[in-house]
Amino acid sequence: MKKIIKQIFIPLSCFLFLVFLFFNMDKITDQIVHLIKKEPDIVIEPKNDYSKKETFLFVKQTENFVPLSKQDIMNIFYTIVNNGWKKFTFYCPNEYVNCLNDVKEFSQNQDLLTHLNNFVHPFNGFSNVRTVISENGSITITVDYFYKEEEIKQINKKVDEIAQEILNDTMNTREKIEKIHDYIINTTKYDIERNNENSSKYRSYIAYGPLFEGFATCNGYTDAMALFLIKLNIPNFKVAMTPEKGSNSAGHVWNAIYIDNQWLHLDLTWDDPVSKDGKDYLQHKYFLITTSQLKSIDEEGEVKITEHDFKKNIYLELKEKNY
């Protein structure tokens, strides 16, 4: 009797095991693949308060952290910075053969990282991005941000105070932008020392300089303006002209603003010229103008201005036909 039971039990057990394998093959296969590939767990932290929601043509926020192309890599880098994450790890899948090389190439392209930085909130702008690539295909990004928490608190309070002082509900959007434009220029001088010596006692390269110290470089003007635009819920990003290698130009940055169903340029730095007579001047030559108008103004006079020669393949919102 025992022999008969044994003869029945063994085949039955094998049959049940095969049935179990059949219905759970996908799960088992996934576990085996996971163990073989040794993929790191992707930990998604909450976004900080300054993560932009706008969608741009050049780079986009993503929820997919398994890249399959160079664009995916760029979108991942952008999302990390845009969300204010200080450290984040993702991995390269086996099917993306050149992934690690493409990550390395992108992470070492300082010009491209600079342009990517212009699409995030000023408070999420980074001073440095470090990339560590492991042999198992994992990539760890560490971000150092320009603005410190205490500075952000001070600046936010100052922006609220200024907005309450100079803006009112009777103004339309364009009038509010002009009020802010004029206020920043009238209370700020260009930091010639930092421009010439690459050193200054003022924090003129961020919004703290123009708002608290009265001195700014183009970065400070642009960040300060961007903070007011964000407060008014006006879509915007920064535009940079990065000089070619060997060029004497120091580069330049200004604001792009979406208003009246179009993207326009706004350059506070060039509307606050450094004068030979030492007097303060307020201009509106670069106030909410199209790309064609920008080009026309820059070509006026004997000397052509090249500081606004931005890359049309990056700042696609500003690209116009025949330009």
Q: Note the pLDDT tens digit of each residue in 87-132.
A: 999 999 999 999 999 999 999 999 999 999 999 999 999 999 999 9
Q: How confident is the model at residue 279 (pLDDT cuts 50, 70, 90)?
A: confident
Helix ranges restricted to H, the chain: 2-37, 70-82, 99-107, 110-117, 149-166, 173-186, 192-197, 208, 218-231, 268-271, 291-298
b/e map of 175-199 (b: 16 or more CB within 10 Å)? Answer: ebbbbbbbbbbeebbbbeebeeeee
- What integer best gives the mean pLDDT of the chain? 88
Average of per-residue pLDDT across 239-251: 78
> What angle, rounded to 10 degrees, do the helices at 173-186 and 149-166 form?
120
Q: Do the beta carbons of residue 139 and residue 89 sit within 8 Å? A: yes
Eight-class DSSP state of 318: G
Q: What is the pTM of this model?
A: 0.85
CA–CA distance, 100 with 218 (Å, rounded to integer): 35
- How do beta strands 189-190 and 215-216 pair? parallel
Three-class DSSP category at 205: coil
Mean predicted confidence (pLDDT) in 253-278: 90
Strand order in the sheet with 262-266: 236-241, 252-259, 262-266, 287-289
* 100 class by beta-carbon count within 10 Å (0-12 exposed, 13-18 middle, 19+ buried): middle
Instruction: Give all domains of the chain, ordered by start, each with its CATH number.
Output: 38-146 (no CATH), 149-318 (3.10.620)
For residues 26 and 143, the model is more confident at: 143
Q: What per-residue confidence (pLDDT) applies to 293?
A: 97
When pLDDT is averaged across residues 240-254 and rounded to a whole number, the result is: 80
Task: Please tell me the predicted confidence (pLDDT) of residue 322.
Answer: 46
Q: CA nearest 266: which of 147, 180, 158, 152?
A: 180
Pairing of strands 287-289, 262-266: antiparallel
